[in-house]
A and B are shown apart, each in its own frame.
Chain A
Amino acid sequence: MAAGKPAGKILILATESCAYPGADAVGQGHMSYPANTYVLRVKAPVLFPEKFYLDCFDKGIAGIIIMSCGVECPYEGAYEALAKRIDRVYELMKERGWDIRRLRLTAICTVCTRAFINEVKQMHDLVAELGPPGQEQQLAAAGSA
């Protein structure tokens, strides 16, 4: 990782039946990725209300990747409910002037090691570009001034 200012923190909500074992598989393959990433094991990310995401950004988390099971979700209907919720979170983020790319909904399987690394790298580059949450408003304000 580039030296200097530490990169913003990235929260990864990883499902216990797909993405969490996927993250383990990345480790078993000794494939390196940026260390500003914190994986939280979840049964299903449908558990989190809109406010949880907004609070995370308020607390200073720079990016959130939801690594779900996608259509492979063991809880039928959960993925669809999650996708709808994330759309609402995007609306709320826009209202706050936040870049919605800070929140990403993906599907990562137990062996999707390359996809895992790609997602992490992309979010890492994005938060490096955007800075801490809220910075984009300042940038926009500076731009329009």
Chain B
Amino acid sequence: MSTPESPKETTGTGKVGVYVCYCGGNISDQVEVEKVCESLRQLPEVGVARSNMFMCSDPGQELIIEDIKSGKVDRVVIASCSPRLHETTFRSAISRAGGNPYLYEHANVREQVSWVHHGSEATAKANRLVAAAVAKAALSEPLQPIRVDVQQRAAVLGGGVAGMKAALELADRGLEVILIERSPFLGGQVARLRHLAPFGEDAAAVIAELAGRVQEHPAITVQTCAQVEGFDGYIGQFRLQVRRRPPEAEEYADQLAAGSAAGAQLGDVVPFVGIMPQRLPENLEEQEITVGAIILATGMRPYQPLRGEYGYGDLPQVLTLPEFTRLWHAARSQRQGDLLVVQGRRIRHLAIIHCVGSRHIPGVHDEGGRGYLNEYCSRTCCTASLYTANLIRQTYPNTRVYEFYRDMRAFGRGQEELYAQASDSQVMFFRFRAGEEPQISPTSEHPTAPVLIRVKDVLTFNEELEVMADLVVLAVGQEANPVPGLVELMKLPVGADRFLLEVHPKLRPVEVAVAGIYLAGTCQAPFDVGETCSAAAAAAVKAAAVLTRGYVELDPFVAEVDLSRCQGTGACVEACLADGALTMVDMTVDGQNVRRAQVNPALCLGCGACVAVCPHNAINVKGWTLKQYEAMVDAIVAEDLAA
């Protein structure tokens, strides 16, 4: 790939280096990058203005490093994608060159220019935004990051596969872990499955292995019936209030009864419930813990169909896949020949309906009583359906299986084989269009009578077909398991699909915008168990990198008092939003005993509430001063900027 290098001549006298990214066409398709460089070179603050195909690549970063090392540049402006993606990349490049990483500004000319504007407008706007960044950079002061010691301990919230896997990965790296599970059980939703598609592992064995290791590991403390109800602090030093409380009267009553009925001891697997690793608390127990990092593994919940959706709740012949899985287990233990018998009913024809509770289309599907649509694909239900169909055909060859699907999504290793196997074992497929879902109606009042399924089948060129089925299984998808308390406390970003939102789906897939908090598993999106484990391991490694280093460096963007201006009015102290961050103290300035404002950087939030109220502009947030904003506005309104 050829790198478009700009000519090096400059009319500027300053030492701001401007670096404009092509982003492989993402920016340069709309913004005339060379024109922007040319225009920026006219600004007196600018020393060099260069472009590169990918500024974040090694050659791109080398441009900056060379300019700093050769003394041409002492502060940097990058014009590229959102600073949320590569701010740390560029800061670290500047540090590597021996520069101060805070003598750096960023102009977002991709998400906020080339992806939303076209042609000359895009170039003109990019020009102004970069000029504004130059104006800010020219007024930047070198800053030192705030170094904070790290508590070498992590909290993992959620004891499903994701939480257990993440806890083990951390503990195996020698780090202390507190695993906090809301219910009395470990195992999460996997405890409710029988076999794991596509390869058929025994779900109980998978969770037994993980839970066994978690319980034995000396570095892991498990707390069940526990939730985080208070939160403050920052990466390296989070303080969590954890409450363990006995379950309410009806809460978990069925699961606890199942455990007792099976005579399960602590640590035993209770089928379709999970593993109870410790006794229930007798009273409310409260505890404060301090941790350096937090992994969220609060999981998902299977979609619960609305009453009447495909006849669910009205017709006893209609079940969800998890409900069927439990009955299947019971049916297997009372096997009666080559025909599946469920609750005493002989199942000659069984239908599976895909995409239940997933892939809703606004305008086509109804929110019903839910108040929302699930527009995403749940990714695991096609495979789980195919696996179930194959299992039925193999075990009960006299039971016919019909699958009603919209699109078949059997991606990933071992999944296509399931599809092929289903075709070979004469599973019959019907395909429906969105908005033309199969209609289910009873054929008689009798609860054991078959139901009638009507479908307009795309595979037979929209023929209206009718099929009788003794049992209908709804392949329900995965829904976000809302954790409003944690979202509120930790200020977690939530996506439009109501799952927790990562910083960047490709580049920073397990991080959230709050530093030191990571996502593991299906709290983020629908995943299968393999993907859940990969995500959990990634989150654990990310957290371990912070914890094992022993310290973190926080951005130094806190308030700073300019004693040459401060008159001791105290307005800032009154306006301050963080207790103890600003106080009035006696001190000597220029030989005079005076009372002046003083900042405690560890407590300052950097919000700037104090800045607005100072009549002398004697207090500013470092790196974001009022003068810098004023300079940016000046650059935006400047008449003389060539567009």
Which residues of A does B touch, CB under 8 Å? Answer: 1, 9, 11, 17, 20-21, 23-24, 26-28, 30-33, 35, 38-44, 46-50, 52, 55-56, 59-61, 72, 74-78, 81, 85, 110-111
Q: Is the CB of B624 within 8 A of A9?
A: no
Report the minimal beta-carbon distance from A26 to chain B, rounded to whole angstroms. 6
Q: Is the CB of B629 within 8 A of A52?
A: yes
Q: Is the CB of B605 within 8 A of A61?
A: no
For the complex, what is the distance from the CA of A100 to the CA of B160, rounded to whole Å?
Answer: 53
B406 at the interface (CB under 8 A from A): no
Q: Is the CB of B608 within 8 A of A24?
A: no
Q: Can you list 22 A-B pairs, Cβ within 8 angstroms, ordered by A?
A: A9-B637, A21-B84, A21-B513, A24-B82, A27-B116, A32-B116, A32-B117, A35-B124, A38-B125, A41-B83, A42-B624, A43-B607, A44-B608, A44-B609, A47-B607, A47-B621, A59-B634, A75-B607, A76-B577, A78-B577, A110-B493, A111-B494
| Chain A residues within 8 Å of B122, by CB | 35
Q: Which of A38, A47, A77 contacts B624 (CB 8 A)?
A: A47
The 7 closest A-B pairs by CB, nearest first: A47-B608, A27-B111, A75-B607, A35-B121, A27-B115, A44-B607, A24-B111
Q: Is the CB of B112 within 8 A of A17?
A: no
Chain A CB count within 10 A is highest, among B493, B501, B612, for B612
Q: Which of A31, A35, A50, A72 contacts B491 (CB 8 A)?
A: A72
Q: Is the CB of A24 within 8 A of B108?
A: yes
Interface of A is mostly: mixed
List 17 additional contacts besides A32-B118, A61-B636; criterion CB under 8 Å: A9-B637, A11-B633, A24-B82, A24-B84, A27-B111, A31-B116, A33-B116, A38-B128, A43-B606, A43-B607, A46-B608, A48-B626, A50-B612, A55-B633, A78-B607, A81-B575, A111-B501
Q: Is the CB of A75 within 8 A of B609?
A: yes
| Chain B residues within 8 Å of A49, by CB | 611-613, 626
Q: Which of A17, A27, A47 contacts B612 (CB 8 A)?
A: A47
| Chain B residues within 8 Å of A41, by CB | 83
Q: Is the CB of B612 within 8 A of A43?
A: no
When C-beta atoms are compared, the residue in chain A nearest to B118 turns out to be A32
| Chain A residues within 8 Å of B128, by CB | 38
Report the minimal beta-carbon distance from A135 to chain B, rounded to whole angstroms. 16
For the complex, what is the distance from the CA of A74 to the CA of B83, rounded to whole Å?
Answer: 20
Given A21-B84, A35-B125, A47-B611, does the pair A26, B629 have CB atoms closer than 8 Å?
A: no
For the complex, what is the distance from the CA of A35 to the CA of B110, rounded to whole Å?
Answer: 13
Q: Is the CB of B609 within 8 A of A9?
A: no
Q: Which of B115, B129, B575, B607 contacts A28 (CB 8 A)?
A: B115
Q: Is the CB of B496 within 8 A of A111?
A: yes
In this complex, how many residues of chain B approach chain A with their Cβ under 8 Å: the count is 46
| Chain B residues within 8 Å of A42, by CB | 624, 629
Interface of B is mostly: helix
B66 at the interface (CB under 8 A from A): no
Given A41-B83, A43-B557, does the pair A111, B607 have CB atoms closer than 8 Å?
A: no
**From residue 591 to 638 of chain B, which have CB atoms closer than 8 A to chain A?**
605-609, 611-613, 621, 624, 626, 629-630, 632-634, 636-637
Given A21-B513, A75-B577, A110-B501, does the pair A38, B608 have CB atoms closer than 8 Å?
A: no
For the complex, what is the distance from the CA of A125 to the CA of B630, rounded to whole Å?
Answer: 25
Q: Which of A11, A47, A55, A111 contacts B636 (CB 8 A)?
A: A11
B44 at the interface (CB under 8 A from A): no
Q: Is the CB of A78 within 8 A of B629?
A: no
Q: Is the CB of B110 within 8 A of A27?
A: yes
| Chain B residues within 8 Å of A1, by CB | 121
Which residues of B does A touch, CB under 8 Å? Answer: 82-84, 108, 110-112, 115-118, 121-122, 124-125, 128-129, 132, 491, 493-496, 501, 513, 557, 575, 577, 605-609, 611-613, 621, 624, 626, 629-630, 632-634, 636-637
For the complex, what is the distance from the CA of A73 to the CA of B575, rounded to whole Å?
Answer: 16
When C-beta atoms are compared, the residue in chain A nearest to B487 turns out to be A72
| Chain A residues within 8 Å of B83, by CB | 41
| Chain A residues within 8 Å of B577, by CB | 75-78, 81
| Chain B residues within 8 Å of A33, by CB | 116
Q: Is the CB of A74 within 8 A of B609?
A: no
When C-beta atoms are compared, the residue in chain B nearest to A28 turns out to be B111
When C-beta atoms are compared, the residue in chain A nearest to B114 turns out to be A27
Report the minimal beta-carbon distance from B631 to chain A, rounded to whole angstroms. 11
Given A21-B513, A42-B624, does the pair A81, B633 have CB atoms closer than 8 Å?
A: no
For the complex, what is the distance from the CA of A81 to the CA of B575, rounded to whole Å?
Answer: 8
Given A21-B84, A35-B125, A78-B577, does the pair A40, B609 have CB atoms closer than 8 Å?
A: no
Q: Is the CB of B607 within 8 A of A52?
A: no
For the complex, what is the distance from the CA of A77 to the CA of B605, rounded to whole Å?
Answer: 12
Chain A CB count within 10 A is highest, among B111, B124, B606, B630, for B111
For the complex, what is the distance from the CA of A57 to the CA of B611, rounded to whole Å?
Answer: 20
| Chain B residues within 8 Å of A43, by CB | 557, 606-608, 621, 624
| Chain B residues within 8 Å of A26, by CB | 111, 116
When C-beta atoms are compared, the residue in chain B nearest to A77 turns out to be B577
| Chain B residues within 8 Å of A59, by CB | 633-634, 637
For the complex, what is the distance from the CA of A23 to the CA of B111, rounded to whole Å?
Answer: 8
| Chain A residues within 8 Å of B118, by CB | 32
Given A33-B116, A43-B624, A47-B611, does the pair A38, B132 have CB atoms closer than 8 Å?
A: yes
When C-beta atoms are compared, the residue in chain A nearest to B497 turns out to be A111
| Chain A residues within 8 Å of B608, by CB | 43-44, 46-48
When C-beta atoms are compared, the residue in chain B nearest to A117 turns out to be B116
Q: Is the CB of B108 within 8 A of A47?
A: no
| Chain A residues within 8 Å of B630, by CB | 52, 55
